[in-house]
Amino acid sequence: MKKLFFILFTSSLVPQENIQYIDGVAAIVENHIILKSDLAQMINMAAIQRRIDPRTNPEIFIHLQNTILQSMVDQKILLEMAALDSIEVGEKDVEAALDQQIEMLIAQAGGEEAAEETLGQSIKSFRREFWFDMQDRLISEKYQQQLMNTVSVSRGLVKDFYKTYRDSLPILPLKAKIRHLLVPINPSASAKNETMETLLKIKSQIVGGGSFADLAADYSMDPGSSKKGGDLGWVKRGSVVKNFETAAFTLEEGIISNPVETEFGYHIIETLEKQGDKIKVRHILIAPEITAEDNKRAFNLATSYKDSISSLDDFKKFVEKRSADESTREIGGDLGWLNPENYPVPEIGQAVKYIDMNSCSPPINSSIGFHLLWLEGIKKGGRPNPEDHWPELEEMALNKTKMDWYQSWILKAREKFHIEIKQ
Instruction: Write the CATH number of the domain with boundaries 189-286.
Output: 3.10.50.40
Residue 388 clears pLDDT 50, i.e. is over it:
yes
CATH topology of domain 2-150: Triger factor/SurA peptide-binding fold (1.10.4030)
Whether residue 133 has pLDDT greater than 90: no
CB atoms under 10 Å from CB of 52, counted, come to 17
Q: pTM for the complete prediction?
A: 0.66
Can you give the pLDDT at residue 2?
A: 32
Q: What is the mean pLDDT of residues 40-65?
A: 80
* pLDDT, tens digit (0-9, with 9 covering 90-100), for 193-244: 999 999 999 999 999 999 999 999 999 999 889 989 999 988 888 888 889 9
Looking at 220-311, list the stretches that DSSP marks H as alpha helix, in order from N- to C-terminal side.
Answer: 242-250, 292-307
| pLDDT tens by residue, 233-263 | 888 888 888 899 999 999 999 999 999 998 8
Q: What number does CATH give the domain 175-186+291-379?
A: 3.10.50.40
pLDDT in tens, 302-353: 999 999 999 999 999 999 999 998 889 999 999 999 999 999 899 999 999 8
Report the alpha-carbon distance of residue 146 to residue 334 in Å, rounded.
31
Q: How far is CA 218 from CA 28, 201, 286, in A?
A: 58, 14, 11
pLDDT for 423: 58
pLDDT at 21 over 80: no
Give the residues across from 284 on adjacent strands.
Answer: 268
